[in-house]
């Protein structure tokens, strides 16, 4: 009974702080489109990526997140287009959020690399479903009498620069700070800011080091991921990531073990295992699968089209 009460409290606390929450991934170097529309079309391929994250394993009703992204360059549009879908679900009282965004990025050459300016647009839908609760839980005054949902139009924007050895992105979501209206009250979406940057350093012809950072903030609290991957022969990688969060509800601090491989030149697979260093104690597991459909062109590929993670 205590466990069920704690679960209900956890879910409704999550609903209360929803405006401060953004999807959390440890393999952030693989899903840049999730928070930055300017990444769309930055590779000479139709790129697809799927990430699935199970947060706080062993805790019944722990958050699960699924992210699907597809993007491709379109020469007629002088840039690229993309589609990003994120679904979050929390708890036995199913609090779910569905975020569907289309993206367009205008790309221009800048120095030895390329700079893109992007815009995303779509809907954010939030709902709560109490049908899986037992009768005594449904009669609890803290639980809504019925399921409810709401949606709102949303905008995002960003900048993204990449060259042969460097990438950097700056972006923002919920630009207009819209409000989702539901039967149980309004949920304002606060503007969030993201910074991602990485560098490839070649230790020898077959071995390279890829340090990177990922910062997200709502202007009041921030979370910083410091990552480093060692890549062998452009096929196998492994590394560590340290996450520091000012707000303990984000789940930090955490240490993540990263590993993966390019199964073929087009197909890649990665795993991240997060070790929670706080009192929460339950760890997280994340899977990534990516596939690139090559686009044949007559022009020679530019040297800043890095095939590894960009």
What is the model's pLDDT at position 1?
A: 41
**Which candidate, 112, 91, 89, places its Cα nearest to that of 99?**
89
Alpha-carbon span 310 to 44, nearest angstrom = 10
Percentage, residues of the chain above pLDDT 70? 76
pLDDT at 250 over 60: no
What is the model's pLDDT at position 2?
A: 36
What is the model's pLDDT at position 248?
A: 46
Higher pLDDT among residues 281 and 6, named by residue? 281
Half-sphere CA count of 133, side-chain side, radius 13 A: 25
Q: What is the pLDDT of residues 34-43, one digit of tens each?
A: 999 999 999 8
Q: What is the rounded average pLDDT of the residues 148-168?
A: 92
Q: What is the rounded average pLDDT of the residues 152-180?
A: 94
pLDDT at 106 over 70: yes
Structural domains in the chain, CATH included, are 2-294 (2.40.160.40)
Q: What is the rounded average pLDDT of the residues 290-297?
A: 83
* CA dist 253 → 244, 278, 302 (Å): 5, 6, 40
What is the model's pLDDT at position 4?
A: 42
pTM, to two decimals = 0.83
What is the model's pLDDT at position 187?
A: 83
What is the model's pLDDT at position 65?
A: 92
What is the model's pLDDT at position 221?
A: 87
Q: Residue 6, Cα to own-chain centre: how many angstroms?
A: 27
What is the model's pLDDT at position 269?
A: 96
- Which of 17-21, 33-37, 148-152, 198-202 is least confident? 17-21
**Which candidate, 140, 193, 152, places its Cα nearest to that of 22?**
193
Half-sphere CA count of 93, side-chain side, radius 13 A: 24
What is the model's pLDDT at position 295?
A: 75
Q: What is the mean pLDDT of the chain?
A: 82
- pLDDT bin (cut points 50, 70, 90) of residue 12 is very low
pLDDT at 141 over 70: no
Q: What is the rounded average pLDDT of the residues 276-281?
A: 71
Q: What is the rounded average pLDDT of the residues 183-207?
A: 89
Q: What is the rounded average pLDDT of the residues 213-233?
A: 93
Q: What is the rounded average pLDDT of the residues 5-30?
A: 56
Which run of H or E residues covers position 225?
Answer: strand 222-232
Q: What is the rounded average pLDDT of the residues 80-95?
A: 84
Higher pLDDT among residues 140 and 89, named by residue? 89
Q: What is the rounded average pLDDT of the residues 15-35?
A: 73
Q: What is the pLDDT of residues 109-129, one digit of tens each?
A: 998 899 999 999 999 998 876
Which run of H or E residues covers position 99?
Answer: strand 94-110
Question: Facing residues of 52 across strands?
Answer: 66, 287
pLDDT at 21 over 90: no
């Amino acid at each position: 009974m205590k466990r069920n009460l704690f679960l209900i409290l956890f879910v409704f606390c999550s609903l209360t702080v929803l405006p401060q929450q953004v999807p959390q991934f440890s393999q952030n170097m693989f899903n840049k489109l999730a928070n930055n529309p300017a990444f769309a079309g930055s590779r000479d391929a139709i790129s697809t990526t799927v990430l699935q994250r199970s947060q706080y394993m062993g805790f019944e009703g722990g958050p699960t997140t699924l992210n699907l992204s597809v993007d491709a360059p379109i020469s007629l549009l002088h840039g690229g287009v993309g589609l990003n879908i994120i679904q979050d679900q929390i708890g036995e009282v199913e609090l779910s959020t569905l975020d569907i965004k289309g993206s367009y990025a205008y790309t221009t050459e800048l120095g030895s690399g390329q700079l893109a300016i992007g815009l995303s647009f779509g809907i954010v839908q939030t709902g709560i479903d109490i049908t899986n609760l037992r009768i005594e839980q449904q009669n609890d005054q803290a639980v809504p009498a019925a399921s409810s949902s709401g949606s709102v139009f949303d905008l995002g924007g960003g900048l993204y620069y990449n060259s042969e050895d460097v990438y950097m992105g700056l972006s923002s979501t919920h630009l207009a700070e819209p409000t989702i209206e539901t039967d149980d009250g309004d949920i304002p979406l606060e503007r969030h800011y993201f910074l991602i940057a990485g560098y490839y350093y070649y230790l020898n012809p077959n071995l390279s080091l890829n340090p990177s950072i990922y910062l997200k903030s709502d202007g009041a609290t921030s979370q910083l991921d410091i990552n480093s991957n060692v890549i062998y022969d452009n096929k196998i990688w492994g590394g560590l990531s340290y996450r520091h969060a000012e707000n303990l509800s984000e789940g930090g601090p955490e240490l993540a073990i990263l590993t993966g491989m390019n199964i073929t030149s087009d197909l890649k697979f990665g795993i991240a295992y997060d070790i929670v260093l706080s009192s929460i104690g339950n760890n997280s597991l994340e899977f990534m699968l990516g596939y690139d459909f090559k686009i044949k062109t007559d022009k020679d590929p530019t040297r800043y089209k890095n095939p590894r993670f960009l």
